[in-house]
Amino acid sequence: MISATGLLAAFRARERSPVEELDAVSEAGGAFVTLTLERAREEARAAERAYARGEARPLEGLTLAVKDLYDTAGVETSYGSRVFAGHVPARDAEAVRRARAAGAIVVGKTLTHEFAWGITSVNPHFPPLRNPYDPERVAGGSSGGSAVALATGMAALALGTDTGGSIRIPAAFCGVSGLKPTFGRVSVEGVLPLARTLDHAGPMARTPADVALFYAALTGDSGDPGYARIAVCPDLHLHELTPGIRRVFEAVAAGCPEVRFSGAQEIYPAYAAIQRAEAARVHAEWFASRAAEYGDDVRSRLAAAQDVALGDYIAAAEARERARAEFTRLFTQTDLLLTPIAAVPPERADQPGHTAFRDGVLPYTVPQDMAGLPACAVPVGSDELGLPVGVQVTGPPGSERRVLAAADALFQRASWKMTPSAVR
């Protein structure tokens, strides 16, 4: 499957056509909840003319899948819920506007876990989303539709959001890449919040190099990454890795020095308190009047979130500051950190929501959201089930270029070649 950077080269050489790329887009696999192909074809023809004139923009003609948490002008945006069925924004979210200004072509809105509150993308309001490597398993969430669109070749680029791992988890489960930037680095204007102090908007693509291309278009950041030391931190491995995931991680991490982290065990409980309290505030008005329209999963979480006390929120905020201080100290000893994304494979789609599954994933992904650190998911191998295994590279605030360069080096070394069964 050709990368976004490869597509741009083929477009410039007139070996491939932006219009032809739209033929791959469909509703198969449940990735999209809304397609915008009529407008996309007009924009693709305009992209072909831009290449003919030698006036192509950085993302000219690349197909873009947009998570249905981002507002899109004139296109239904339900945020994954019946509560907002029929809602059509008047303006694009800022990240969508920037992507379009760089030449990307929106082909549709992708499935999200309802209101982005979940790590499976099992959404009762829409047809099931299938993991492209095993349709009996979840694709990960909450940006699951975006990851599936990439893995199955239906989009070259995608937008996701990450509050507790929602870019990195589905990227790992679907064998693609995605960047959770530094907090605030990519605008969340026009993105429905889940928890305002934890929410991140970010780019997803098939490879780290493609993610870097997209990130530069969204932010203008194309600086020199510089040399990077990378370390591992067993203190942050709070759940035992399955044998297949451990094998892949240890092979990738071979030769990396170890650094220490104090208090890792308090991050996930603190995160849960902050997320619940902030989500309850975001949904206060809607939940009070329309609770019956929520799916059982998110409705039960919001009901429980009503009981977060001020003292619990303050204690969690204090734990977050301790975690930030620990990361600041850690990054005086190394430039980057290499950690797993999940200790367990994706769970079965017919029995989602197990606490053991969440406990095997979120402790690995929430620390970066709590501290607002950039982290890039990169596929590097497969486990004993034949499922993709991703790792993440994390850096201090503002180190996106260095994080992306290291992720690309890992990707190149791993020579990730797997193709999902959905497109074989």
Query: Rounded to 5, what percent of the chain is helix, strand, coil?
Result: 45, 15, 40
Structure tokens at 48: 């072909």
* Set 67, 121, 143, 382: catalytic member: 67
The Cα 415–Cα 424 span in angstroms is: 18
Instruction: Give one DSSP letter per residue of 76-143, joined into a string.
Output: ---TTSGGGTT---SS--HHHHHHHHTT-EEEEEEP-SGGG--SS---TTSPPPPBTTBTTB---SSS
Give how far the C-alpha of residue 128 lies from the chain's centroid of Cα atoms, to the nearest Å: 19
* Set 81, 166, 177, 382: catalytic member: 166
The Cα 134–Cα 418 span in angstroms is: 13
Active site (annotated) includes residue 142 = yes
The Cα 28–Cα 301 span in angstroms is: 30
* Set 78, 121, 142, 382: catalytic member: 142
Active site (annotated) includes residue 17 = no
**Eight-state DSSP code of residue 137:** B
Closest Cα partner for 370 from 164, 202, 201, 119? 164
Whether the Cβ atoms of residue 362 and residue 341 lie closer than 8 Å to each other: no
Active site (annotated) includes residue 399 = no
Which residues participate in catalysis according to the annotation? 67, 142, 166
